[in-house]
Amino acid sequence: MPDNQAENSDHLAERYGRRPSSDRGVTIAVTAAVIVLTVVVGWFAFRSVDDPLRVAVHSWDEPQGAALTTTIEIDRDPGVAATCDLVALDERMIVVGQLELEIPAGPEDHFRMSADIPLKGDGIAPELRECRITN
């Protein structure tokens, strides 16, 4: 009985000017999606390898007084100096502190650095907004 339904479905499709269903369209769509995904992943991988400066928040402590102590992790090409903008956020994600952190040039290519973000409110988490090379 199922074969008869498939034949009727194909017959109706042809009658109204459509081609019978096939798996070829699905195969083409899946192949195209895999190609696009491969290109996107490759582009991000290539871009991250070539980046001379990579900075991320590693950890932070509970606020002590009027400062939020934050540790950032830095991967860079040796000799690269940078300036990073760190902010402290409260529970409503409002900026309650800001610090422009200078990272001096040096021979280290991977290290961690601590910074105290001055607070003007109840800061609970740091956020790294931007880093730029300053050589």
**pLDDT tens for each residue of 103-134:** 999 898 899 999 999 999 888 899 999 999 98
117 CB neighbour count, 10 Å cutoff:
23
Residue 107, CA distances (Å) to 13, 15, 77, 92, 133 in order:
70, 75, 8, 40, 15
**pLDDT tens across 5-33, in order?**
656 666 766 677 666 556 777 888 899 99
Query: What are the structure tokens assigned to 106, written together?
Result: 């040096």
